[in-house]
Structure 1
Amino acid sequence: MSGSLRKGLYVLSFGGIAALLVLVLWRRELYLPLSLLMIGLVMLPFFIRFERRRLRAEELLLVAMLGAIAAVSRVPFAALPSVQPVSFVVIMAALVFGAETGFLVGSIAAVASNLMLGQGPWTPWQMFSWGMIGFTAGLLRHTRFMASRWGRAAFGFGWGFLFGWIMNLWSLLGFYDRLSWPAFASVYAASFYFDLAHALSNVFFLTLFSGIWLNILGRVKQKYGLLENGRAG
């Protein structure tokens, strides 16, 4: 897919998102189908671009395996709200294999883990949120910031809050008949503890284990030539 076509697809998708968001605010009763369509439009360019590449079976298996690892890693921490290593695994996948792989691993992790923890209208929002963690980590993977352990920790800390803020939007749209500043304030204040727990758990996993994971995944990529630049990265 050419760069201009890819950019055009991204612009059209995000333009559609903006239109759907306005429609959701206007027709509140259509919240669920419109929100699902909204998240689907966001994910469409990434899945199309990924599907158009010539991938080996080993590469597809690797993406599925990383998504499964991220999903399963969420289950043992289910009793601790917002404390889980999913974001860590997604960031590691993106730093080694690229933005698109990171997006897909995050999306797969959300829907797969919810098969065990419970599906609902929050699932597509989680797919988008974890996918964007991977996508942004992949975009920054060659920067000096992400080469530093503390830079990765700061990235994980910031996304711990961003993840929660995105998820708060579906709560506001789904459970509040009227949107107001007090409603926004109450939802975001109530989520602060959970967002902080997510952010601090990201810092914990990234600070202690990111070096080891980067070495292991980097060796796998180098040894087997999986998801090299220009293929699915």
Structure 2
Amino acid sequence: MNTYKITLIALLAALAVVGRFMFQFIPNVQPVTTLIIISGFFLGPASAIILAVLVTYLSNLFLGMGIWTIWQIVAWAAIGLLSGWIGKTNLKQPIFLLVAFGIFCGYFYGFIVSLATFTVAGKFLPYYIAGLPFDTYHAVGNALFMIVLYPVLTRVFTNYNKQWLLKKNIN
């Protein structure tokens, strides 16, 4: 992993932590999942997993740690892994497919985090059904953030790839 990539991951982590903190007043609406999807798509699964761990740990220092932190890391790391695999297969995905994937990830994240309640309380279905409106907020938030952030971050990642290729050819 080169210095450019580490810097980019650190900047994305800072953006995600600030975004999560700024949107904390709207339940389950945050740019974190979208940033993990986009970074996995362009930088690969390992970078997205690193971003997921950094963002979860750093943002939960401000918002509160608990047993859910582990499950948030698992859910966001799985999303990063999936988006990294999608990015490795084809970087020319239309935005509506990425928006649909973001919506899916909102519900997937909610399902994984709901599993934590099953391991602690033993009651999964009531908790999951009660949380579906919040998962819907997360899914809609992911779609909106994807529409706003994907075009902007595509330029950043395209510029990153050009710089990385230039540096690789010079050395």
Q: Please, which of 155, 161, 166 is the counterpart of residue 221 of structure 1?
A: 161
How far apart, CA to CA, are the structure 1 residues paired with 2:27 and 2:92? 27
Contact 1:156 1:202 in 2 (8 A): yes
Residue 93 of structure 1 corresponds to: 39
Contact 2:117 2:124 in 1 (8 A): no
Does 1:194 pair with 2:134?
A: yes
Residue 163 of structure 1 corresponds to: 109
Does 1:141 pair with 2:81?
A: no
Query: Structure 1, unaligned stretches of length 5 or more?
Result: 1-54, 229-233
- Structure 2 counterpart of 1:197, which letter? Y
Residue 36 of structure 1 corresponds to: none
Contact 1:94 1:137 in 2 (8 A): yes
How far apart, CA to CA, are the structure 1 residues paired with 2:152 and 2:31? 15
Does 1:74 pair with 2:20?
A: yes
Does 1:120 pair with 2:60?
A: no
How far apart, CA to CA, are the structure 2 residues paired with 1:90 and 1:170? 21
Q: Please, which of 205, 218, 225 is the counterpart of residue 145 of structure 2?
A: 205
Give the 3 Å change call, closer, same or farther, for CA 100–217 of structure 1 in structure 2.
same
How far apart, CA to CA, are the structure 2 residues paired with 1:187 and 1:145? 37
Residue 15 of structure 1 corresponds to: none
Percent of aligned pairs sharing the same letter: 28
Matches within 5 A, 1:5-16: none
Give the 3 Å change call, closer, same or farther, for CA 108–225 of structure 1 in structure 2.
farther
- CA apart distance, 1:146: 6.6
TM-score when scaled to structure 2? 0.89
Q: Please, which of 55, 59, 62 is the counterpart of residue 5 of structure 2?
A: 59
- CA apart distance, 1:142: 4.2
Q: How many residues align?
A: 167
Task: Name whichever of 208-217 and 72-81 sits farther off.
Answer: 208-217
Q: Indicate the RMSD between aligned Cα atoms, in angstroms.
A: 2.0
Larger RCO (CA under 8 A, 6+ residues apart): 2
Residues 84-121 of structure 1 show CA distances to partners (whole Å, capped at 9, x for unaligned) of 11111111111111111111111111111001111111
Moved over 6 A (4+): none
Query: Structure 2, unaligned stretches of length 5 or more?
Result: none
Contact 1:83 1:201 in 2 (8 A): yes
Give SS of 1:126's match.
Answer: helix
